[in-house]
A and B are shown apart, each in its own frame.
Chain A
Amino acid sequence: MADVAIPRAKPQMSEASAWTQLKHNRNWLGFWFMVPAMAFLIFFLAYPLGLGIWLSFTDTRIGRVGHFVATENYEWLWDDSIFWLSVFNTLLYTFVASALKFAIGLYLALLLNENMPFKAMLRAMVLIPFIVPTVLSALAFWWIFDSQFSIISWSLKHLGLINQNINFLGDTTWARICVIFANIWRGVPFVAITLLAGLQTVSPSLYEAATLDGATRWQNFRYITYPLLTPIIAVVMTFSVLFTFTDFQLIWAMTRGGPVNATHLMATLSYQRAIIAGQLGEGAAISSAMIPFLLAAIMVSWFGLQRRKWQQGESND
């Protein structure tokens, strides 16, 4: 409909030179406007994406051009228990962290949506973990979870709950809990603030009407807030799942995959194999193995989204 707004070449102006016409041709102009962005995305995103999949079928090492070895890397990985452990860790990490991030984030969003003093300041403070570089806050967690001087162990000991220091990052279960906790800590502000943005678009009169009709707070949430929020929840959770699944920096700064590979995610394992051990082909195979999972995550949220829209009786634009 907006096309009407752009004056097209009018018949009486047809004597204008070909150059002038070209200058006003939208496709031609559009092409030149797109060049810088497309150049970056093609050379440094699309091409490497393809190259990565190609590398995963070769035996490339650092400093040596590889040869095509078909699916040898994948067959190798299929029998590699550390790889499967990293897949398990990644799924566990993604699932637990995303679910808790969603639950706590939604709860925090609901709390922040209430009317209270210092509202703006509180919201600003909540977002700080998201602003500070992940690695730097991960280092703070590393110190908080130190085996000897952990402040948590100290506090628990003084409360009389434990007798010995907890070996937070040295014990497999504790290490997993700690990295998941740090991930949740870092992700909750994002989920909370974006969901809060969605909450603020819900008209208060809906709640007033429902309350007059005798709805409880839970019913208010279940039948008004939640349905109206589903589209934004789907998008936020897609992002959250994607970035949790491919997380690297938090793990690398806190545990580097240890103890005994208990916190190795697929991304950290591929870094270790490709860059540290120099097996680029094998590392590329591990990171290419993430792609099906990512596609599945995108598909699930995408189709989940479509169905919800249809349920709400919206048009499918």
Chain B
Amino acid sequence: MNKLVKLFTIFISAITLTLASISSSFAKVEGEYIVLGSAISLTGKYSSNGVHTQNGYNMAVERINKMGGVKVGGKSYKFEIIYYDDESNPKRAAQLAERLIKQDGVHYMLGPYSSGLTKAIAPVTEKYKIPMVEANGASRSLFTKGYKYLFAVLSPANQYLEVAIDLAVEKNGGKPVKIAQAFEQDAFSQDVRLGILDAAKRTGSTIIIDDKLPKELNDMAATLAKVKAVKPDVLVVSGHTKGALTAIRQISEMKVDVPMLAMTHCDAAKLSKQHGKKSEYALCASQWHKNLSYKDKFFGSGKKYDKDFKKEFGYAPPYQSAESSAALLVFKDAFERANSFDRDKVRDALKTTEMQTFYGNIKFGPGGQNVAKPMILFQVRCKGDVCENKVVAPTKWASDKFYHPIPKWSERS
């Protein structure tokens, strides 16, 4: 036992030494760099959207740094981001937020991908009074908690597909419709569901199928079999990227005929590219589209952003990337208006943000959500074999007419 005790003493002291030698906190502003922190899903079920988010952040950092950086107190600073991989897990995200703040000394945070993860991180940033600008946490309940340091550049999740129901009712001659819906069991998708419930109530529509889909979903055949049997007027599906891909794949395999198909995450899933004509007529909610007429001096217009992003990363930017880039523009603007690195001053500046970016107007409501920007709907339309997302609502930006009802599979070539 004697030697064992010695062994343990060595073991324990080794740990102590390691811990003590790790320097904690290197400070929020290092030399000419403003250090931001972010936990991002690089692995796990949100990894593809996590990468979209990260690309959006990186693109904006590079652009802002190249175009003169952030001017505070007459000096020019550059942005730098410390990333950790949260593995698409809220537990890990909360832990990493703590780590970024306590050990890496980060004083300003960028949001993670998805509502669930933002829900896990927000209490941590709030506790340490760290301003966080997030671009991918849309759950409505994030904005009713009275968080003072949380700012979201996007519209809340319940607004995603509400408009789609209105559209369906309109196409039905103003009469209530029958809705079939299937949502992944996660914070974001369930919030989209709440929006549909509200819209159904408002329009007197009935919900005839209300299914929950598992996380990491890759099969929804049971729901679709029901849809085939009861013939609803509109089918609503939401479940991040995998949800969109699964829905299109199985709807086309099972030849499910439904007059209207409303979804989320079509652009993040690159539906029009991956599934081509099979995805035609899908109606998708989006925070942003390149054809919108917003402008700023860093990225120019949406179209230019689209072009630059494609050049840099090799694919068309989904709205997740656009809104993430916008988050950095918001931070830059706030730092410059605060003209200080004091967290509370930056926070106050964020609160009074009112600006236009290529992604849309940004102004924060009392709960921290962006109230200046509407959601848009686009529809996948194909010409020959080339499919594109065409904006159909709101009418201000609509480039195409909403095509309704979707032709039957037997009539589609």
Do A and B share a complex?
Answer: no
User: Which residue numbers of A lie inside 8 Å of B, CB to CB?
Assistant: none
User: Which residue numbers of B lie inside 8 Å of A, CB to CB?
Assistant: none
